Amino acid sequence: MDFSAVTIEILVALLGLVLLVTGLLLPPDHKKANGYIAVVGLLGILAFSLSGDAGRSGTFLYGLYTLDSLSKYFKEIFMIAAILVILMSLSYTKRFREGKGEYFSILLFALLGMMVMVSSNDFITLYIGLELMTISFVILTAFDRSSLKSSEAGVKYVLLSAMSSAVLLYGLSIFYGLSGTTEYAGFITCLQSGGLGPALILAIVMVLAGFGFKISAVPFHMWSPDIYEGAPTPITAFLATGSKAAGFAVLIRLLLQVLPSQHVNFSGIIIMLAVLTIIVGNLIAIPQKNIKRMLAFSSIAHAGYILLGLVAFTGMGVGAMLYYIFIYIFANAGAFASVTALSNITGSDEIEDFGGMWKRSPLVTAVLMISLLSMAGIPPAAGFVGKFYLFASIIKEGYVWLALVAIGMSVVSLYYYVMVIRVMLTGQVKSDEPVTVPASLKTVMVVSSAATIFLGVYAGPLTSWTSSVASMFVK
Amino acid sequence: MLKDFGIIGIFVLGGLFFTGAALLTNWIIRPKEHHNENATSTFECGLDTRGPTWVQFRINYFLYALIFVVFDIETVFLYPWAVRFNSLGVFALVEMIIFIAILALGLWYAWKKGALEWK
């Protein structure tokens, strides 16, 4: 058997197990070292993956598992997101009463679940990856045992994700019932013979609903504000970036690789999802007082923008999605790192408590500003380029009205992003106590805002990478 | 297609009719006696319960159950491997060692965390 297609996954699993051991062996005051081990290990795995020694393509277990440029791209994205989240967590774990050692290990297993999801070439493998990710996230969401909100968020997440999993599984079981196989390859051949009727459409709707939950598309978005608010802030960042990116990765693979013959049947659903998600996400974000809730609704709106790439249903659309997900991770990491830093100081996530932060910590203010402006799509931040590619890809397919809706809502979003910036620059200063930001958080903040600016000014290398990945979906 | 569902419908109706008819016949011909205490008590299924049955169980029960799963899974995979040991060769042996090592790690972790202590 050829293990080269799963080297990355094996290494991540190994690192997770090693962290479990070191987490127990380290003395109680030094559990933080686990985080450093995780960061160093992941950086090594990321370098190994980027260097290309990990293999470029191949299959494993008789085609149940596949490594191709799409899954490789997403795995590298997940690893970057995980590294940023672990760095964010280093200063946050002191809030946890226990389990400081296990925290990083579970985080790595969530990462492993995402990797299995994007690489799976079979419905059962896909589901196992999905559940590995979801269950790890449930534990992480409820990790702050001293906080009632965190436990509540955990319970909500486990119940709601169980329901979405049930719907998804029902859809997948209909796929199996129609084709007699759980493998994508066999399923595609079965689709080509045609004539599967209304049951297939029902199954597609159910699968879309299941993954609509993961990417928090309206009307499956209800869970995300509560859970984003209650979860520990680094985990919120990982939910908003990694989990969402994994959902999109699977949607890209399922819709463009497995079900393209059914495009006429589901294109309308995706357009509706995208329009609703963009409009509802942006409008409900306006009145939010809590920054984590505001970012939750903004991340719903961003899911809508990214869905536009699936509306376009072309190589260009996928390329735009890949680019947008990449820069979205950096913008979110920057924003959540600043929020972590601010809430470490003020002990609150309310926007009004950030008043006059500009005087107390210019760095935090600048990073949050760059991240929010990138999300709003203001040049030179990378969000502008990302939105430009997405909107261009749908205009090219003739959806001018949809692009106008998205642009209009993007203008609306500017309002609530700028409101936060306004409070930070002109709001009432609550105290003059100087602000100290831990070095690990500073690293995340500097790296993510530098990446956001750099990719906005010089997008060439990344776009050539994303378009070469997307070229497998030429239509 | 629709015709096939019609056949299923006939089966469903037939099934409902037969179960209904059987129950009805039983109800008609059964001796009409009043319930006595012995008829409604638990029999052949353990002892009568004492006190309320909705009590809280210690979390340790569940920890033991989880650790039991470790051994359970181990057996499930060890047995077929042992039966075909000769034909599976060295590769399977190495795989099995890795597999058992991971499970042993899990047991060690649980032990170290104090899951086996009854406090």
Q: Is the pTM of this model over 0.95?
A: no
**Cross-chain CB nearest to A17 (options B1, B102, B113):** B102
**Structure token pair of residue A89:** 């967590």
Indicate whether A475 pLDDT > 60.
no
Q: B105: which chain A residues are within 8 Å (Cβ-Cβ)?
A: 17, 20-21
Q: Nearest C-alpha of chain A: how many angstroms from B21?
A: 34
Contact B113 A24 (CB under 8 A): yes
Q: Name the helix (H) or strand (E) containing A128.
A: helix A123-141
Nearest residue to B69 via CA among B98, B106, B94, B101 = B106
Between the CA of residue A31 and those of A21, A36, A90, A95, what are the distances in Å?
11, 10, 10, 13
Quick one: pLDDT at residue A146? 87
Quick one: pLDDT at residue A471? 85
pLDDT tens per residue, range B41-70: 766 667 777 788 788 878 788 888 888 888
Residues A125 and A249 sit within 8 Å (Cβ to Cβ)? no
Q: A24: which chain B residues are within 8 Å (Cβ-Cβ)?
A: 109, 112-113
**Complex ipTM > 0.85:** no
SS (H, E, C) A134-196: HHHHHHHHCCCCCCHHHHHHHHHHHHHHHHHHHHHHHHHHHHHHHHCCCEHHHHHHHHHCCCC
**Cross-chain CB nearest to A24 (options B1, B102, B112):** B112
Between the CA of residue A30 and those of A36, A37, A43, A409, what are the distances in Å?
11, 12, 21, 47
Determine how many CB atoms are found less than 10 A away from the CB of residue B25.
Answer: 10
Q: A197: which chain B residues are within 8 Å (Cβ-Cβ)?
A: 1
Distance between terminal CA atoms of chain B?
Answer: 63
Cis before residue A219, ω within 30 degrees of 0?
yes
Nearest residue to A449 via CA among A377, A386, A342, A373 = A373
Residue of B nearest to A13 (CA): B102
Q: What is the overall mean pLDDT for chain A?
A: 90
Report the alpha-carbon distance of residue A284 to residue A394 in Å, rounded: 25
**Mean pLDDT in residue range A91-111:** 88
Indicate whether A395 pLDDT > 80.
yes
Quick one: pLDDT at residue A157? 95
Quick one: pLDDT at residue A286? 92
Quick one: pLDDT at residue B18? 94
Say if A21 is an interface residue toward chain B (CB within 8 Å). yes
Q: Nearest C-alpha of chain B: how many angstroms from A18?
A: 10
Single-letter amino acid code for the residue at A415: Y
Beta strands in A42-142 (DSSP E): 58-60, 65-67
Indicate whether A411 pLDDT > 60.
yes
Nearest residue to A138 via CA among A116, A169, A159 = A159
pLDDT tens per residue, range A33-58: 889 999 999 999 999 988 876 566 78
pLDDT tens per residue, range A85-97: 999 998 888 888 8
Domain boundaries along the sequence of chain B: 2-112
Nearest residue to B77 via CA among B92, B62, B55 = B92
Residues A117 and A285 sit within 8 Å (Cβ to Cβ)? no
Quick one: pLDDT at residue B22? 94
Q: Nearest C-alpha of chain A: how many angstroms from B38?
A: 42
Which of the residues A2, A14, A19, A24 would you substitute to probe the B interface, choosing the one with the greatest number of B C-beta atoms within 10 Å?
A: A24
Q: For residue A128, with 0-12 CB atoms within 10 Å meaning exposed, 13-18 middle and 19 or more buried, which class applies?
A: middle
Residue of B nearest to A102 (CA): B109
**Cross-chain CB nearest to A17 (options B1, B105, B112):** B105
Indicate whether A284 pLDDT > 90.
yes
Number of A to B CB contacts under 8 A, please give it.
Answer: 10
Question: Taking the domain B2-112, which CATH number applies?
Answer: 1.20.58.1610
Quick one: pLDDT at residue A31? 81
Instruction: Please enumerate, as own/partner, the contacts of A122-129 that have beta carbons within 8 Å and a separation of 24 or more.
Output: A122/A63, A122/A64, A122/A65, A122/A182, A122/A183, A122/A184, A123/A172, A123/A175, A123/A176, A123/A182, A123/A183, A123/A184, A123/A187, A124/A182, A125/A64, A125/A65, A126/A172, A126/A250, A127/A165, A127/A168, A127/A169, A127/A172
Report the alpha-carbon distance of residue A314 to residue A393 in Å, rounded: 8
Distance between terminal CA atoms of chain A?
Answer: 34
Q: B101: which chain A residues are within 8 Å (Cβ-Cβ)?
A: none
Nearest residue to A319 via CA among A420, A240, A396, A221 = A396
**Cross-chain CB nearest to A21 (options B1, B105, B113):** B105
Q: A21: which chain B residues are within 8 Å (Cβ-Cβ)?
A: 105, 109
Q: Which residues pair with A58 in a beta bridge?
A: A67
pLDDT tens per residue, range B58-101: 878 888 888 888 888 889 999 999 998 888 889 889 999 999 99
pLDDT tens per residue, range A159-192: 999 999 999 999 999 999 888 899 998 899 888 8
Say if A200 is an interface residue toward chain B (CB within 8 Å). no
Residue of B nearest to A25 (CA): B112
